[in-house]
Amino acid sequence: MSEQPDSDGKEMEALLQTLWKQNYGVLQERLRLIRNAYDELAAGSLDSQTRSEGEAAAHKLAGILGTFGLPQGSALASKIEVSLGSATAAEKSGAPQLQSWLEELEAIVASRP
């Protein structure tokens, strides 16, 4: 009977890996939306639609990355969500921190095979 939990764990990991591969394009699109919002913020031209799209994309990533064993990615996405939620074109001072979080988030997503 001690075989069952290990077998279930392997099945779950295989399922998560399949889901990761199936949804990788969606994850990349969400990162792209965040990147667009960051680029506009850094340029001082962040409009409300792009900000909202980036914030929503970060929210969705924050909700799903922990499921895939990437809790640090989830935490970073949450920080980005909050940052974009309060960002305006006049608040470019936060752009360097946002850039750092975004680059780290992109690396974390890319690190999972």
Q: How far is CA 12 from each of CA 23, 27, 45, 113, rounded to the nearest angstrom?
A: 16, 20, 44, 16
Say if 87 falls within a structural domain: yes
For the segment 95-105, the average pLDDT, to the nearest whole number, is: 91
Say if 2 falls within a structural domain: no
Residue with the larger pLDDT of the pair 77 and 84: 77
Q: Could you report the per-residue pLDDT of 20-77, keeping only the tens digit for each?
A: 999 999 999 999 999 999 999 888 888 999 999 999 999 999 999 998 989 999 999 9
> 59 near 81, Cβ under 8 Å?
yes
Query: What's the pLDDT score for residue 5?
Result: 61
Q: Which of 5-14, 52-61, 98-107 has the lowest mean pLDDT?
A: 5-14
Band (90; pLDDT cuts 50, 70, 90): low
Residue with the larger pLDDT of the pair 103 and 5: 103
Band (7; pLDDT cuts 50, 70, 90): confident
Q: What is the CATH number of the domain that holds 36?
A: 1.20.120
Which pair of structure tokens corresponds to residue 89? Answer: 């074109």
Query: Considering its fold, how many domains does the chain have in total?
Result: 1
Domain with 97, as residue range(s), is: 9-111
Say if 3 falls within a structural domain: no
Q: Indicate if the alpha-carbon torsion angle 77, 80, 82, 84 is positive or negative.
A: negative
For the segment 2-28, the average pLDDT, to the nearest whole number, is: 84
Residue 108 has pLDDT above 90, yes or no: yes
Query: What's the pLDDT score for residue 1?
Result: 46
Say if 4 falls within a structural domain: no
